[in-house]
Chain A
Amino acid sequence: MSKTLTIVLLREPYASQYADIALEIAEMALNLGYKVRLFLYMSGVHAAKRGQSPLRFPNFERKLRELLTRGLKVIACGRCASARGYIENSANEEGNFSTSQYVEGVKVMSIYELADWIKNSDRVIMLG
């Protein structure tokens, strides 16, 4: 059975390299056959914003989309996303908050999802 890696990202892209490093680690782990999950926490929730267009930095969104198609699971913290103006509706029955501002495939859920991920991971890395 494949091992599971959870990465917790605390900072937004472009302000530091943490976000890029998170995806580099995620890509490498996917290559090695890991199940990989990325939890966006605190300012890390900005990372899932759609329409990113950096002029001179690697495009985080493009890489995120690529890894989502390769099976990367991504959840953004609902409390953090709400604080930053991303949440447009209250949570549905599954506990998902909805936002049109994020890349498709990124879920917005509560911190308890992170606790469940931590509980079921072989390794947890926090960046930021």
Chain B
Amino acid sequence: MILILSKPPYGSEDVISMLFIALAAVSRGIKTTIILIDDGVYTALRDQRPEGLKYPSVEDLIYLIITDAEIFVHEDSLKERGISGEDLIEGVNVSSDDEIVEVLLTKTGAFLLC
């Protein structure tokens, strides 16, 4: 299964809810790939502190998923937002356009976009 997340992780339930699908999928043994693009790249930031928002931490969800799912973060989206690879959770893959295309072409199964 491929999940493409392009929305920011806070302010709506979209990304959190998609990560719940990923969590359920990996627990059922579904090979899961997550691609973070546009504002979706904020999901992979390290040391998130959403306590003031009273939203669940997407970083905590990523830690629950990352041992079983591959996570790719779009390099140009990071650059556009001034985020360096060092700001990200350990274990995510920073990937170029070509590398993301390769992922899309080689992975099979359900394709979910949000």
A binds B: yes
Bound-complex Cα distance A124 to B109 (A) = 8
Contact B30 A119 (CB under 8 A): yes
Chain A residues with CB below 8 A from B110, complex form: 6, 118, 121, 123-124
Chain A residues with CB under 8 Å of B113's CB are 126
Q: Mark A107-120, 1 if CB is under 8 A from B, else 0.
A: 00011101110110
Assembly CA distance A119 to B108 (angstroms): 12
- Given known pairs A42-B13, A42-B14, the reply for A115 and B111 (CB within 8 Å) is no
Q: What range describes how many residues of B lie at the interface?
A: 10 to 19
The 8 A-B pairs with the shortest beta carbon distances in the complex, nearest first, are: A124-B110, A115-B24, A115-B28, A111-B24, A126-B112, A115-B25, A112-B24, A118-B110
We find that the number of chain A residues with CB closer than 8 angstroms to chain B is 19
In the complex, per-residue mask of B32-54: 1 if CB is within 8 Å of any chain A CB, else 0: 00000000000000000000000
CB <8 Å contact, A111 and B20: yes
Q: Which residue of A lies closest to B113 (CB)?
A: A126
Interface positions of A from 71 to 128, Cβ below 8 Å from B = 79-80, 110-112, 114-116, 118-119, 121, 123-124, 126
Whether B96 is near chain A, meaning CB under 8 Å from some CB there, is: no
